[in-house]
Amino acid sequence: MMSRKQYFSIAVLVVSMISCSAGNLAASSTNAGLNFSSTKSLRAMARVYMAAGEYEKAEPLLSKALANCQSGSSTDEELCLSLLDTSWLYQKQFKYDQALQYCQMGLQLQEKLYFTNHPYIGYTLRNLSAIYNGQGKYNEARSTMDRAMKLMYVTHEVDDPALASFKADLADIMASQGDLAGADNMYRAALAQISIKFGSEHLYTAQVMAGYGKVCLLEGRYFEAQSMLEKSLDIQRAVFGRGSHLLAGVSMTLAEVLMAREQYDQAREHLEGALASVRTKYGIDNPMTGKVMSLLGHAYLGSGQVSKAEKTAREAVDILERSAAKSDSAATAKNRLAQVYISKGKLDKAAQLCSESLAELETLLGSEHPRIAAVLDTMALLSSKAGDLDAAAVYTSRAMAIRALGGNGLSAAAF
């Protein structure tokens, strides 16, 4: 149970973030005859619940706010805000299709209400790019973020601290695209500005720090990544409370670092805690649950618990295959399950999964993305186990070539 102080702290952060996405639009309304105050109150309460991760409590409030708007009892500005807040809610629940629908409706209305280069539109485009990123549509995410930043540069200087959050989100997209050098530089720039604006112990600083920790992991800088992620986790835990589902993301990345360093038992502890929290909050069929289980299966395999690894990894694939937001996560999970099958001598099943994983990732990400290299590693191991050393050499050579494109130190562990 969170304290009042914890609720207030995270409410201040998320309300400011959501407010930036649309601004205080209703304040400009001159139509005093419309009853939008109750809609504003509903949204305000919903934002506090969303800040605390209590999405099931926020959803009916936003539904009521939208109903008020659609009944004609609120302004177009309030309707716009209600649509964008609802999009934010669905995004945080990993319901990206619904989030996209509401965000696009809000954006269309916003573009009618305000001039073309209004900053409010830039913040909404930033949120839209985050939805695309969550869907695994990285090119759409990048083009949308580029559009957002171009718009913001019309009214802001390049080094304006207000753009730090845009830079952090762009860095995350770059990392998803496999551009680790670009992501590293962008995260450094964002963190420098965010640390000055908020301080090194602030929740938002910690969340951006976790994103940069992921990049350090992918670059093979494990000690730096671990130090950064542990600090981020400590800060977030102090706000959200131990065992919160809102810690799952940083816990997963930290577990990946630990597994890269072959500390599987410690990784397993982090992942089992994350799984308990996300399964309780989101349910068994949520893609976040599937992602945690996929990593947990890998941790079980590394610690020699092969039967648990198979059961967990197979269930993860099933969950992510059923998910509307499966993107490249399902293909990555198949690769991890293939590794389990190889360890059990089920080479035919492993081969089928590797083939599916490679085809899906090449379709989604292109043939030179770092995640392709991880599948090629598995295929090389599979070929070696099957006695086909020539094929193993070919797969290994291609994986090495892909990693060379990403720069020195590119890690295979987390992809």
How do residues 327-360 score in pLDDT, each as one tens digit? 799 999 999 999 999 999 999 999 999 999 999 9
* 106's tokens: 């809000």
Per-residue pLDDT averaged across 291-298, rounded?
Answer: 98
User: For residue 235, is pLDDT > 50?
Assistant: yes
DSSP 413: S
How do residues 279-290 score in pLDDT, each as one tens digit? 999 999 999 999
Per-residue pLDDT averaged across 187-207, rounded?
Answer: 94
343, 303 Cβ separation under 8 angstroms: no
Identify whether residues 222 and 366 lie together within a single domain: no
* 256's tokens: 């990946």
Its domain, for residue 56, covers 1-155
Q: How far is CA 194 from CA 8, 146, 228, in A?
A: 20, 20, 15
Q: Is the pTM of this model over 0.75?
A: yes
Rounded Cα distance between 293 and 332, Å, is 12
Give the pLDDT confidence score for residue 408 in this predicted structure: 37
pLDDT category at 37 given cuts 50, 70, 90 is low
Domains contained in the chain, number:
3
Give the pLDDT confidence score for residue 38 in this predicted structure: 84
Identify whether residues 33 and 116 lie together within a single domain: yes
Rounded Cα distance between 395 and 384, Å, is 10
Rounded Cα distance between 59 and 121, Å, is 24
**Most distant pair of Cα atoms in the chain: their distance:** 79
**Boundary of a domain, candidates 183, 218, 242:** 242
CA dihedral 299, 304, 307, 311 (to 10 degrees): 10
The backbone region for 208, taken as left when phi is positive above 0, alpha when psi lies in -120 to 50, beta otherwise, is: alpha
183, 191 Cβ separation under 8 angstroms: no
SS3 24: coil
Identify whether residues 116 and 34 lie together within a single domain: yes
The residue behind tokens 């420098």 is 192
Rounded Cα distance between 234 and 35, Å, is 44
**Boundary of a domain, candidates 115, 131, 155:** 155
- Quickly count: other Cβ atoms within 10 Å of residue 155's Cβ: 12
Residues counted in the chain: 415
Identify whether residues 99 and 166 lie together within a single domain: no
pLDDT category at 253 given cuts 50, 70, 90 is very high
Rounded Cα distance between 195 and 154, Å, is 24
Note whether residue 296 is domain-resident: no
Which of these, 387, 297, 364, lies nearest to 334 by C-alpha position?
297
Q: Which of 228-237, 248-257, 402-411 has the lowest mean pLDDT?
A: 402-411
Listed in sequence order, the residues at least 6 apart from 139 whose beta carbon sits closer than 8 Å to its beta carbon are 177
Listed in sequence order, the residues at least 6 apart from 206 whose beta carbon sits closer than 8 Å to its beta carbon are 231, 232, 235, 236
Note whether residue 336 is domain-resident: no
Note whether residue 109 is domain-resident: yes
Note whether residue 361 is domain-resident: yes
Identify whether residues 122 and 168 lie together within a single domain: no
298, 259 Cβ separation under 8 angstroms: yes
Identify whether residues 210 and 126 lie together within a single domain: no
Rounded Cα distance between 127 and 185, Å, is 22
- Provide the residue type at 378 as one letter: T
100, 135 Cβ separation under 8 angstroms: yes
**Boundary of a domain, candidates 139, 155, 171:** 155
- The average confidence (pLDDT) of the chain is 89
Identify whether residues 171 and 42 lie together within a single domain: no
Note whether residue 403 is domain-resident: yes
Which of these, 393, 395, 399, lies nearest to 412 by C-alpha position?
399
Note whether residue 22 is domain-resident: yes
Identify whether residues 184 and 93 lie together within a single domain: no
Note whether residue 29 is domain-resident: yes
Please give the residue that has the higher pLDDT: either 409 or 389: 389
Q: What CATH number is given to the structural domain containing 85?
A: 1.25.40.10
The residue behind tokens 């993107």 is 327
Alpha helices in 178-243 (DSSP H): 180-198, 203-218, 222-240
Identify whether residues 182 and 133 lie together within a single domain: no
How do residues 171-191 score in pLDDT, each as one tens digit? 999 999 999 999 999 999 999
Identify whether residues 120 and 139 lie together within a single domain: yes
Q: Report percent pLDDT > 70 for the chain.
A: 88
How do residues 111-152 score in pLDDT, each as one tens digit? 999 988 999 999 999 999 999 999 999 999 999 999 999 999
pLDDT category at 22 given cuts 50, 70, 90 is very low
Identify whether residues 233 and 369 lie together within a single domain: no
Work out the angle between the directed axes of helices 119-135 and 96-113 (0-180°, nearest 10).
160
| DSSP state string for 27-62 | GG---TTS--HHHHHHHHHHHHHHHTT-HHHHHHHH
Note whether residue 7 is domain-resident: yes
Identify whether residues 362 and 218 lie together within a single domain: no
Which of these, 240, 246, 210, lies nearest to 228 by C-alpha position?
210
